Structure 1
Amino acid sequence: MITENQILFSTETDENGYFEFKGQLLSEKDKLYRIHSNINTIKGLQLVSDNEKSNYHNFIFSNQDTIYFPKSGNNWFSGSQNSNLADKEWGKLKSFEAQLEKNNAQIKNKEAQQQAVNDFAEKVKSYTEKSIKHPLLKLLAFSDIKRNDYNIKNDFEKDEAFYDAVSNSLKNYYGEASYYLQYQDELSKISNVILQQKYAFQRTLNYFLVFLLLVLAVISALQFKRLKLLKPKQNQFGVSNLTLTNQEEKIAKLILEDKANKEIADELFISLSTVKTHIRNLYAKLDVANRHELAAKLKNHPWD
């Protein structure tokens, strides 16, 4: 549906069905326009395009160009003669796309249809990169790809350079005007969806890592507790099966009585160096480092 505020200017046909626009009415740069004629004024400004009739025509034009519509039947504005070079290139692009769509028209399988959509997009992109220079045509190619249910988001992630090239081309030719801004808005929407998905994935990953750390912490705590419970039993088992010499037992008992090395030497009538040697042997057998640890291990030792 066309609204009144979208109309740049209008005229009426003469008695022979002809009309004319003259003067510097449009932009100096190539832009996309539509010429339209009412079929029924009562129903308002409507577009009709089918096998029987057509009441509008889209074209690329600038103030430097001329366009002529020869008189025709129900397909109004058909067979137009436009001097605009970009419009001629657009015709080639549309013919290329129409041939691709014709080849895919008979496909019924859903999986094959999706593959056809992907092939259409890839071939149009390739055609655009190799054969199209004008930024407006690149924008129209993007619009055709997007309209064809192609997954733009996935392709943007894989081939961002293609979409950036279109953006730069539009900005260089039109500046920060409507075509560039509308295209940037489309890219921003795609980028936002990608960022939201990455954020959601990162958040899920963080939750999983926190959960994993908690599980590991619980397992470590239980393992530590288990080892702590087993350690006294292991120590007791080790001490109960410990084999000490007669002299080592005597020295060990005197250590438990808190006797000093010299006192032990005097009581057993041995030299101080011999006492120290026996004590070192006791430390090695019991795997301890000092008297306090030795006393703790031998506290429950079953003496003969």
Structure 2
Amino acid sequence: MRYFILYILLLKATINWGQYHFSGEVSPENAGSAIYLSLVEDYRKSSRVYLDQIVKKKVVDSLGHFSFQGDNLTSDNRIYRIHLDGCSSEDSGNHFLGQCNNSKSVLFIANNNDTLVFPTSFEDQSLCSINSTNPNSGLLLEIASLKEQMAFDFMEYPSEANKKLNLKKWFATLQQVGLDSNEPLAELFVYDFLSDKRNETYGYYLKDLAMNPYYDALADRLSATYPNALFTQEYIAEINTDKNLAGFDPSSLRLWDWAILSLMTLSLLVNFYLIANRRQSIRSRRKALFAKLSPQEQKIVECIFQNKSNKEIASELFVSLSTIKTHINNLYKKLDVSSRDEMVELFKK
């Protein structure tokens, strides 16, 4: 709490200047670790870190403090992520952008005028609470907590009857929480979870979509609040497609329709197989390419993923600038690429 008051007093003026300031503290044992600020424009990419989402990278100082500030964010609310790379040097060949067991991250809502502080909790837990000038910043943490309660309800007694009752209860609960927040981004976060094809909620979602006016009303709220955002158009396209799927009646098909549908289904399956097989081949090739690199070359490739300059890479690896240039030229030859961008694209997932 003391840090929150101090930051608010010192940084209140930045709000009037149209600048954001996101700061906080983590355990001092993370000193020197990389920490990233990402913009999550695509709500379907909120579950992990993506290279193209990163806005800034900082390093945790010796006391465990970090800070992001500037004036380049949007004036409208957006979903952001702060991600702490807690990976050790032993993990360096097995992770991208700090995605290992010791990493921590938090999703929150903010805009270019906000001051946020992420204090450590009473158990020295980091990135699990928010103090903010934006009343909507902590909504995603609240929803995440409700999702955990939902999971507990499902595990308490895993019968089919209990599942149906809990689905009805939690769809209504989560949608109402999002609606009461008056923040369509929070509703979009709920929608992403409930409509995820990987979740047990998906079947109920299709039934709910067919009879619940909530989804069209959310489309109207998104269009009114974020009319030019890509996620608004993505949401509208998704529910329109899913409505067609939810309203599909197999009994209405004639024999000829069944034949066409069967051919289309077979074609889709073949295409999915070919695409999956091609992706697997590409992944295997990338993995084999990365494994052929020396440990030093692997470290340089990871630094390039993090958009570090040659000078920064040389400083981090304690070698000369000319040595780094030589390594990079050798990497270009080994990987058959001609630029950093091509190298990133080669290993991009």
Cα deviation digits, residues 66-99 of structure 1 (max 9, x gap):
1112356774323332222112444444444444
Mapped to 1, the partners of 2:70 and 2:154 lie a distance apart of 44
- Which residue in 2 is equivalent to 1:249? none
- Equivalence map 1:241-252=2 (5 Å): none
1:3 has 2:50 as partner:
yes
Among residues 76, 81, 87, which one is paired with 1:29 in the alignment?
76
1:20 Cα offset (Å): 1.4
Mapped to 2, the partners of 1:183 and 1:88 lie a distance apart of 22
1:48 Cα offset (Å): 5.3
Mapped to 1, the partners of 2:120 and 2:172 lie a distance apart of 38
Mapped to 2, the partners of 1:181 and 1:83 lie a distance apart of 29
- Which residue in 2 is equivalent to 1:111? 161
- Which residue in 1 is equivalent to 2:170? 120
1:169 Cα offset (Å): 0.6
One-letter code aligned to 2:206: K
1:157 has 2:207 as partner:
no
Mapped to 2, the partners of 1:11 and 1:61 lie a distance apart of 19
Cα deviation digits, residues 135-159 of structure 1 (max 9, x gap):
1112122223224522222111111
Mapped to 2, the partners of 1:11 and 1:2 lie a distance apart of 15
- Which residue in 1 is equivalent to 2:183? 134
- Which residue in 1 is equivalent to 2:115? 66
Cα deviation digits, residues 196-221 of structure 1 (max 9, x gap):
x24x44333999xxxxxxxxxxxxxx
1:145 has 2:194 as partner:
yes
Mapped to 2, the partners of 1:91 and 1:3 lie a distance apart of 20
In terms of fraction of residues, the more strand-rich structure is 2
Aligned residues: 200
Alpha-carbon spacing, 1:93–1:66, altered in 2? closer, same or farther (3 Å): same
One-letter code aligned to 1:111: A
- Equivalence map 1:207-286=2 (5 Å): none
CA contact (8 A) 1:117 1:149 kept: no
Tell which deviates more after alignment, 163-172 or 62-71: 62-71
Cα deviation digits, residues 245-273 of structure 1 (max 9, x gap):
xxxxxxxxxxxxxxxxxxxxxxxxxxxxx
Matched position secondary structure for 1:114:
helix
Decide which structure has the larger Cα Rg and report it: 1
1:171 Cα offset (Å): 1.0
Normalised by the size of structure 1, how large is the TM-score?
0.57
Cα deviation digits, residues 174-198 of structure 1 (max 9, x gap):
1131220221232132023145x24
One-letter code aligned to 2:211: K
5+ residue gaps in structure 2? 1-47, 258-349
Among residues 161, 186, 194, which one is paired with 2:238 in the alignment?
186
CA contact (8 A) 2:108 2:139 kept: no
Cα deviation digits, residues 115-167 of structure 1 (max 9, x gap):
322321123234444x23211112122223224522222111111x2111100
Mapped to 2, the partners of 1:70 and 1:81 lie a distance apart of 8
Superposed CA RMSD: 2.9
Among residues 102, 120, 139, which one is paired with 2:152 in the alignment?
102
Alpha-carbon spacing, 1:206–1:36, altered in 2? closer, same or farther (3 Å): closer
CA contact (8 A) 1:30 1:62 kept: yes
One-letter code aligned to 2:245: V
Among residues 86, 91, 106, which one is paired with 2:136 in the alignment?
86
Normalised by the size of structure 2, how large is the TM-score?
0.50
CA contact (8 A) 2:109 2:137 kept: yes
Mapped to 1, the partners of 2:142 and 2:82 lie a distance apart of 20
Matched position secondary structure for 1:166:
helix
Matched position secondary structure for 1:10:
strand
5+ residue gaps in structure 1? 208-304
Mapped to 2, the partners of 1:162 and 1:97 lie a distance apart of 19
Among residues 223, 227, 240, which one is paired with 1:171 in the alignment?
223
Matched position secondary structure for 1:139:
helix
Mapped to 2, the partners of 1:106 and 1:98 lie a distance apart of 12
1:77 has 2:127 as partner:
yes
